[in-house]
Structures are given as structure tokens and as C-alpha cells.
Amino acid sequence: MEPARSARPTGNGAMPATDEEYWAFISYGHADKRWAARLQHFFESYSIPPEVRGTLPARLTPVFRDREVLGAAHNLSEEIRRAIVASHSMVVICSPESAKSVWVKREVELFMRTHGDARIFCLIVERADGSFRAPELLPEPLRPEVCGREILAADARPTGDGAKRALLKTLAGVAGISYPALARSQERRAARRQAVAWATTLALVCVISSLGVAALWQAREARREASRAEATSKYLFSALIDFLPRSAKGIPTGALLPLIDANARPEKLALLEGEPEALFHVRKFLAEAYLQLDQRDKAVAMLETNLAAGRSLLGDDHEDVIHQHWRLATAYNEAGRGEQAETLQRQLLQVLADRPPDDPMRLDALNGLANCLATQGNTEEADRLYSKLYNLSQTHLPPDHSGRLIYTSNYVNALLRAGQTAEALTVSCANLEQSEKLRGPSHPETSFARYQQGLALVNVGDLEAASVAFGQAARDLRISVGPEHYLTLLNGYSVTASLWQLGREEEARAAGAEYFGSPPDPERVKASGKADDPVFEFLAESVVDDDAPRK
């Protein structure tokens, strides 16, 4: 056996005694050796954020992991015994195999004899089938009927915490750090890194944009063909779409917005006065940038100018003008200007009247009109259009067409409003499966489909399954769009509320603290759109109760 080690623990932070040589002893069955290696690597490479570190070292190292199978020996080796005695904590990797392992059982029993069970942490791994419940995966000494209490376990299975979250929870336990505090610090660290990456990327895009504008100006001076200028500006627009996907919408805009503003200045755009088509495409580029950065007022102003110019220059039925028409109508609706949005969408449908019923742009315009009607409270007509769109998409669009996901999602909402809960559940499950295939299991659109599945499950009375769906969606969204995004908070609220309604108050408090803080942050509560729900009163009262003096 060879211990994995580096520097000796200093006794700082949660390390209470200088004779404890290892931060953790990893106990596992042979079938779980890859998980043991992954856990060890995570512990020894993860840098604890300074704001929660206190007097802890930056990394929890060394960790003991035996690297050979114990074979047919009847007793634990002296080295294993010494390592257990010299370890601050024990992490047991739990699976159906390890639950039956004689050696895992003996290692746990020795640790309990020398240290008690307060510093034993369990990690349920993906190899454990979802049909196994947590107590069945624990070694016998850690089962509630034997040790007299319930051992909390981080669940790395996709139906539980997921691998990344479970590893972080286990590290927090060993280090003696509040998991919600560590998770929030990790989120802030990830956001900072993402902001730097996007700022660098966008700076490069804007440099390319500036060079492109200069090149277009030179093209005008040299009387080059307008098609060359249009091709260059179209390239810039496609570059923006590549560099600013929708997953970047939640990143800080402080470093990015000035770069876009600099390229939208009137004096900069004046360089393209002699190239009207190029100017049209550059404005299109800038409007999309503002939309992606949630600068809706600036985007609307740019789109209004561009639509008027495009109609005059290219005509109402030009594809690029049609797209700007639809984009402006959508932006109006998202800005709460529903009547203007509805007028534009109806005008667009007139322009598209001669196209076949399954034309993609016509379907988008019809969906946009339905969204406008729903925003204004005319859900009856909106739901009729959603139903029409769903049927058209099912009969005319190929199975892998992304538009089917959107139209099906809106149709599920229509079914739920109509009280057709059984059909809503069937359609939402099929839509989730298709979204996982087309977008991937953690894409924001897939997470929204999972949220809709959760709503359908609530409506058929299956709160248990709904809480699992909401929890998975919230965890994925926190990574894909950020912890402050309203969809993340909406799903955070949903999992908290469903657990509370199930009577699982401790889990509801933990979920509430994870997504809204403890006590709940008013801004996050407001952003969830559910500020009036009594579950937030429960969370606030729980904090008061926890702070009350004990007699």
C-alpha cells in the first residue's frame, strides 16, 4: 500500500491535532477504485476560496488512499491501521459492492472506535443504481439501525446531487466549511473567470469589428463592390453569434458593454454612409450584441433604425429585413410593449402570407404573435395558436428540427392552462427526451423542458418526482446561465416549495439556503417571480427559530 501524500498537515483550520497526518482516509471497494482516485485528486487539487478558507490551508492534502487490493488477508494491515488512526476524517465511497465489503466494514469500525462517527462522510457514486436508497448503500456500521442516527451522504448520481456538487459537498464536510457558503464562493469564482474569458473574447471580436469597419471605409474610398462590403459585415455578424451564445447572458456586462458602445457611436457608423447595405448588416450585428447583453433599450433603438432603413433599401420581403422585423417584434414583447409587438407580428404575417404553412419564418412569426397575445392576457387565442403550431411542427418539421422543441414547450403550457394534465405530462416527457438528444442533458432549453415536466408532475399529484425534476433543472441552470438568472431561481423556488409541501422541512431549508441564502436574499426572491409564496415566510421563520436561544 502506498499513501498519496505531499506536505504534512499543519494543524490549522479543521485539523484539530498535530498527530493527525492525513486530512481524510478514503475507504472504498475495489470496484470503485476510479471514484477513489477521482476523489483524492479533487481534494488535493481544489483550491479553497480565500473568503471561506479562514485558517485552513489552500488545499486539503495529503489524503490516504490504499492502492492495492487487500486480497485474502484476514486483518487490516498495520499500515492501514496506522493511516486510519492518523486521519482527521473518513470518506466512504458507497455503492452496492462497498456496502457488502468486509474490508470497508472493518475500516469504518476501526475509525469509529478511534474517532467516533461525527467525522465520517459518505459519497454515493454513479455506479449505484437509482433504485437503491441511501441506507442500502451504506456499510453496516453506518446504517441508522446500527449507529443510532442517520448519516448524511452526498449523492453523485445524476438523480441526486450530481458528481461535481457531491464532491464539493464532501470536501466542505471534511474541511468544516458551510456548504452553501462554499458553493456561493465557487459560483463567484466561476463567474469571475467566465467574465475575464468573455471580456477577452469580445475584445478580440470588437477589434475585428473595428478593423472590418475601417476596411469597409477603405473599400468605399477604393470604390470596391458593395457585395464585398456586405460579405465582410455578414462575417462580423456571424462572429458575434459564435462568440456570444445565449449561455453568456448572465455574465457581468461592465467590461463588455463599452466595447460594443464604442462600435455603435454615430461617428463610427458614419464611416459607412456610402455603403448602406454594409451599414444595415453592421447595425444588425450591434443590435444582436445588445440583445445578448440584456441591453434591451439600446437593442430596440438600433432595430427600429435598421428596420426602417432595410425596408427602404431592400424591401419588406427581403430575408434580412424580415428577420429584423421579427427580431424587433420579439424585443418589443420582451420589453412589455405587447400592443406594438402584436401589430408588428401581424404585419409580418401579411408579408409572409404567400408562403406555405410550414415555412420556418412564418411559423416563427405565428409563434411570436401567440407570445404577444399571451403577454397581454389573451391566453385563449394564444393557446389556440400554440396548438396549431404544435400540430404543424409535428406533421411538417423533421424530428431533429429545433423549432419543434419551442412549439412543443408552448403547447405544454397551453395544456396545463386547459387542465389537460395527463396529456401535458406525456408531451412534456417526450419533449424533454428530444431536447436531451438535440441540445444535450444540461443545455438551458433542456433544463426548461425538465422544469415543465416538473410542473406537469405537480399537476398530476406526484410531488416526489417533481422535486427531483426541479432540483436537477436548478443545478444545471446554475452552471449554464448562472445562479442569479431568473430560471435558476424559479427552479430553486420550485424544488424548495415541493420539498416543503412533502413535509421534508430540513431538505427544504437546505435548498432554500442554497439558492436564496439564509435568510433569503430579497433580490433573489423577487427575481424568482414567486415572492408572495408562503414558502419564503417558512424560510425566514426557520432562520429566526435557528437563531433563538436554546433553553
For residue 52, the domain's CATH number is 3.40.50.10140
Q: Are residues 204 and 263 in the same domain?
A: yes
Q: According to the per-residue pLDDT averaged within each range, which of 76-80, 89-93, 476-480 is highest?
A: 89-93
The span from the CA of 339 to the CA of 357, in Å, is 25
Please state, for a pLDDT cut of 90, what percent of the chain lies above it: 41
The span from the CA of 108 to the CA of 84, in Å, is 9
Cα-Cα-Cα-Cα dihedral sign, residues 459, 461, 467, 469: negative
The span from the CA of 478 to the CA of 533, in Å, is 22
What is the tens place of the pLDDT at every residue in 210-220?
Answer: 555 555 555 45
The span from the CA of 71 to the CA of 84, in Å, is 19
Nearest to 57 by CA among 9, 25, 6, 121: 9
pLDDT for position 245: 41
pLDDT for position 87: 92
pLDDT band at residue 19 under the 50/70/90 scheme? low
End-to-end Cα spacing for the chain: 50
pLDDT band at residue 3 under the 50/70/90 scheme? very low
Which DSSP letter does residue 150 get?
P
> Domain ends where: 295, 314, 333?
314
- Is residue 497 one of the residues assigned to a domain? yes
What is the tens place of the pLDDT at every residue in 257-301?
Answer: 787 888 788 888 887 777 888 889 888 888 988 887 778 899 999
Q: Which of 135-144, 156-165, 202-211, 275-284 has the lowest mean pLDDT?
A: 202-211
Nearest to 410 by CA among 393, 433, 398: 393
- Is residue 492 one of the residues assigned to a domain? yes
Q: Are residues 125 and 255 in the same domain?
A: no
- Is residue 82 one of the residues assigned to a domain? yes
- Is residue 395 one of the residues assigned to a domain? no
- Is residue 419 one of the residues assigned to a domain? no
Q: Are residues 112 and 43 in the same domain?
A: yes
pLDDT for position 430: 93
What is the tens place of the pLDDT at every residue in 81-95?
Answer: 999 999 999 999 999
* CA atoms within 13 A of residue 466's CA, in its CB half-sphere: 23
Three cell numbers, residue 443: 443545455
pTM above 0.75, yes or no: no
Q: In a 10 Å sphere around its CB, with 0-12 CB exposed, 13-18 middle and 19+ buried, how is residue 292 labelled?
A: buried
135-172: b (≥16 Cβ within 10 Å) or e: eebbbebbbeeebeeebebbbbbeebbbbebbbbbbbb
Q: Are residues 477 and 504 in the same domain?
A: yes
Query: Would you call 10 helix, strand, or coil by DSSP?
Result: coil
Q: Over range 465-480, report the average pLDDT.
A: 92
pLDDT for position 14: 45
pLDDT for position 231: 46
- Is residue 281 one of the residues assigned to a domain? yes
The span from the CA of 514 to the CA of 525, in Å, is 12
Q: Inform me whether the pLDDT recorded for 441 exceeds 70.
A: yes
Q: Are residues 195 and 114 in the same domain?
A: no
Q: Are residues 199 and 151 in the same domain?
A: no
pLDDT band at residue 203 under the 50/70/90 scheme? low
Strand partners, 153: 122
Residue given cell 471497494 in the structure block: 29
Please state, for a pLDDT cut of 70, what percent of the chain lies above it: 79
Q: What average pLDDT is seen over the chain?
A: 81
**Count of the separate structural domains present in the chain:** 3
Three cell numbers, residue 457: 408532475
Q: Are residues 81 and 204 in the same domain?
A: no
Which DSSP letter does residue 92 get?
E
Number of neighbours of residue 78 by Cβ within 10 angstroms: 9
pLDDT for position 223: 43
Q: Inform me whether the pLDDT recorded for 202 exceeds 80.
A: no
Q: In a 10 Å sphere around its CB, with 0-12 CB exposed, 13-18 middle and 19+ buried, how is residue 175 labelled?
A: buried
Q: Inform me whether the pLDDT recorded for 311 exceeds 90.
A: yes
Three cell numbers, residue 45: 487539487
Q: Are residues 134 and 35 in the same domain?
A: yes
- Is residue 329 one of the residues assigned to a domain? no
Q: In a 10 Å sphere around its CB, with 0-12 CB exposed, 13-18 middle and 19+ buried, how is residue 242 labelled?
A: exposed
pLDDT for position 447: 92
pLDDT band at residue 209 under the 50/70/90 scheme? low
pLDDT band at residue 70 under the 50/70/90 scheme? very low
Range of the domain at 65: 22-177
- Is residue 285 one of the residues assigned to a domain? yes
Q: Are residues 173 and 199 in the same domain?
A: no
pLDDT for position 310: 92
> Domain ends where: 151, 177, 203?
177
367-396: b (≥16 Cβ within 10 Å) or e: bbbbbbbbbeeebeebbebbbbbbebbeee
> Domain ends where: 314, 343, 362?
314
pLDDT for position 267: 83
The span from the CA of 23 to the CA of 58, in Å, is 13
Q: Inform me whether the pLDDT recorded for 27 exceeds 50.
A: yes
Q: Are residues 160 and 237 in the same domain?
A: no
Q: Inform me whether the pLDDT recorded for 29 exceeds 80.
A: yes
The span from the CA of 161 to the CA of 171, in Å, is 14
* Amino acid letter for position 500: W
Q: Are residues 50 and 164 in the same domain?
A: yes
pLDDT for position 415: 94
What is the tens place of the pLDDT at every residue in 111-134?
Answer: 999 988 889 999 998 665 555 566
Q: Are residues 26 and 138 in the same domain?
A: yes
The span from the CA of 255 to the CA of 332, in Å, is 26
